[in-house]
Amino acid sequence: MSKTLTLPKRSGEKPETSRRLPHSQLTQHGPDDVIDKLHEWAFSLPHVDNQHSGISVPGARAMVLHESCDCNQEAFMVGREFAHIHPHPDNGSLHVKLPADEAKEVVDKGWGEDHYLVTLGHYPPGLIMVFSPRDDDELEVVKTIVSRSYLFANKGQSALQI
């Protein structure tokens, strides 16, 4: 399924992030109204359940692919969780699973970074943090990235409206 995302370069400096667990974005969080739009969109995707994350900090909301879906087991962090959105104070950053080449593009274009466990060599490439969208234009790019994670998990079977 992998192909180039053709993302634009993210403007500005990279946000500060933690170099430990939990892997968190420390600066440049998006405003609540933009993060609310991200939640609304993410949990309206077909066959996605809104659940407590099975692997992230308390309050993180997991995007979990419904049991009825034929899925790609390589696309999940735990169970059928392919992405989660972090709560305050790490407002709106996400962890997602992508094919390694697509994760590399997200990182290279400044939209995210490898998960801390990937940088330590404890987890294979493809698990990344996507930085919190700071405005509606950035939200559209983040939705594109999350859509790719969704399609990776769902074997590309569901049409998406971004």
HSE-CB at 91 with a 13 A cutoff on CA atoms is 16
- In a domain, residue 16? The reply is no
Supply the CATH number for residue 41's domain: 3.90.1150.30
pLDDT of residue 162: 45
**Number of C-beta neighbours around residue 2 at 10 A:** 13
Q: What is the pTM for the complete model shown? A: 0.93
> Tens of pLDDT along the chain (162 residues)?
455 689 999 999 999 999 999 999 999 999 999 999 999 999 999 999 999 999 999 999 999 999 888 889 999 999 999 999 999 888 899 999 999 999 999 999 999 999 999 999 999 999 999 999 999 999 999 999 999 999 999 987 654 544
Q: Is residue 140 part of a domain?
A: yes
Residue 137 in domain: yes
Using alpha carbons, select from 15, 38, 12 the residue that is nearest to residue 28: 15
Total number of domains in the chain: 1
Q: Does residue 96 lie within any of the structural domains?
A: yes
CA 46, distance to chain mean position in Å, is: 17
pLDDT score of 111: 99
Inside any domain, residue 19: no
pLDDT of residue 22: 95
What is the domain range of residue 124?
A: 32-153
5, part of any domain:
no
